[in-house]
Structure 1
């Protein structure tokens, strides 16, 4: 059983397609097919079912996949440990919410890059739920997420505290006016898995407006611009809102502390080796 066979099987399982896996692995389809066949011969059972839409795992493949992922993770971890000679260098992948990247990280990242030139720092931006999965799947070394979070496989340390505020089109002078308004509410939010989205949904339920339209947007600037244009309402960190050039074109309202106050956590796997690069990065978060 060869490592390249396991990597190929993992890619095929993830892509659900021989063609897509070959593209991801930068090889030809025949190589992927041959490696899967070699692995199936070694196991003694078919691992994939081929059909017109691609491939799916057989029951044996489903049972086999978690162990393949564990083996690949352990091999990657072993390589990191072997290369870690006490000097911060090599690749360091960090995940972050867009709001945290925009608000909290620019100076931290700039200082880290200036100080540790041999570290190849890679930032991956996504919503909290996705970032947690990225950490658990060893796709990033650590990530900034919105708390609270308790997970048996993760270490979570609070690094920042955000206060969310409600921003509305300017004709809403108070939350009471929003509550009594008979018009439909449009809630502007990031995609599923965003912790601020969950807080906005919770807020609307708490004020007695559980029926509302959802409009997903992909950027902070787009969200603030849509609020100022009267499209809808949203929750964002106060610091982000105060930096906007559009402040005079929307209303800002305080909300209940139980919803407003959100800790930003830095999370990493408990069982993962803390490389020197990651250790230096975590130390850079301390004022």
Structure 2
């Protein structure tokens, strides 16, 4: 088993297709197929289920995938460490909550881009659950997630503090009025969103039974649905303050133990901390200080 075989394995697993993996790796499908078969013979068990639409990981393949990703990341980090001289450069693959991107990131991302133009920064959004998994499994170099995070392989640093508020249609002027709503709907992100979990806990503590949640993938869609009177949600105050000022929605303060949430920046404990990563975290810290001073 060598790193090249594991790189092929990881690409096939990610794409679910021998052909797409071959395109990414700039080779032919027959070469990819041969490498996967050779790897399966070496480990002594099938790693993929084959079907007419492509391939999918077997249980053994699922168990092996994190190790392949970590080895590929280790090789890339070895090269990065050797070349990490002078001004910060290279690539940074980062993730963030959509609410954090909307509320916090723009000022210091633009500052970082101006100051460190040689760093190629990519940013993807997701839930706290999915982003944590992506960092732990080496698909991302780091991510902003909602705390707390308890993972033995991850380093966590608090960057922002948020106040969550209950967001309802503008006609609902008190939290108590929610009790009279039959089949109350919640408007939330997909499973894995920590704000969704907190909302469910809050309503459960109030003895409020809700209907099946409506899931959306964007912040704008969630706020628009609440404004239209479809349901309620839980979001950082800063994200919805403008909509509340326009009397599109009503925001309700909740108990501090439910409202306070830390936004953490996470990365793997064992990862090489490049000069680009160090520079990014420093800008994030200074940007947080500036935001707090302006608040």
Structure 1 and Structure 2 fold alike (TM over 0.5): yes
Structure 1 residues 257 and 277: alpha-carbon distance in aligned structure 2, compared to 1, 3 A threshold: same
User: What is the alpha-carbon distance in structure 2 between the residues aligned to residue 228 and residue 63 of structure 1?
Assistant: 44
User: What is the alpha-carbon distance in structure 1 between the residues aligned to residue 150 and residue 60 of structure 2?
Assistant: 32
Structure 1 residues 171 and 70: alpha-carbon distance in aligned structure 2, compared to 1, 3 A threshold: closer
Q: How does 1:143-162 map to 2 (within 5 A)?
A: 143-162=143-162
Q: How does 1:38-57 map to 2 (within 5 A)?
A: 38-40=38-40, 43=42, 45=44, 47-48=46-47, 51-53=50-52, 54-55=54-55
Paired position in structure 2 for 1:221: 220
Paired position in structure 1 for 2:29: 29
User: What is the alpha-carbon distance in structure 1 between the residues aligned to residue 221 and residue 124 of structure 2?
Assistant: 20
User: Do the aligned partners of 1:45 and 1:60 also contact (CA within 8 Å) in 2?
Assistant: no
Paired position in structure 2 for 1:114: 114
Paired position in structure 1 for 2:292: none
The total of aligned residue pairs comes to 285
Structure 1 residues 39 and 105: alpha-carbon distance in aligned structure 2, compared to 1, 3 A threshold: same
Deviations 1:241-276 (A, max 9, x none): 112377312211111111111111111111111100
User: What is the alpha-carbon distance in structure 1 between the residues aligned to residue 208 and residue 39 of structure 2?
Assistant: 56
Q: How does 1:62-211 map to 2 (within 5 A)?
A: 65-179=65-179, 181-211=180-210
Report the Cα offset of residue 86 of structure 1: 4.2
Q: How does 1:265-276 map to 2 (within 5 A)?
A: 265-276=264-275
Gap regions ≥5 residues in structure 2:
290-295
Report the Cα offset of residue 58 of structure 1: 6.5
User: Do the aligned partners of 2:165 and 2:237 also contact (CA within 8 Å) in 1?
Assistant: yes
Structure 1 residues 24 and 154: alpha-carbon distance in aligned structure 2, compared to 1, 3 A threshold: same
TM-score by length of 2: 0.88
User: What is the alpha-carbon distance in structure 1 between the residues aligned to residue 245 and residue 229 of structure 2?
Assistant: 12
User: What is the alpha-carbon distance in structure 1 between the residues aligned to residue 34 and residue 108 of structure 2?
Assistant: 47
Gap regions ≥5 residues in structure 1:
none
User: Do the aligned partners of 1:84 and 1:276 also contact (CA within 8 Å) in 2?
Assistant: yes
Q: Give secondary structure in 1 for the equivalent of 2:267.
A: strand
Structure 1 residues 61 and 128: alpha-carbon distance in aligned structure 2, compared to 1, 3 A threshold: closer
Report the Cα offset of residue 138 of structure 1: 1.5
The answer to which of 49-58 and 276-285 deviates more is 49-58
How well do the aligned residues superpose, as a CA RMSD in angstroms?
Answer: 2.3
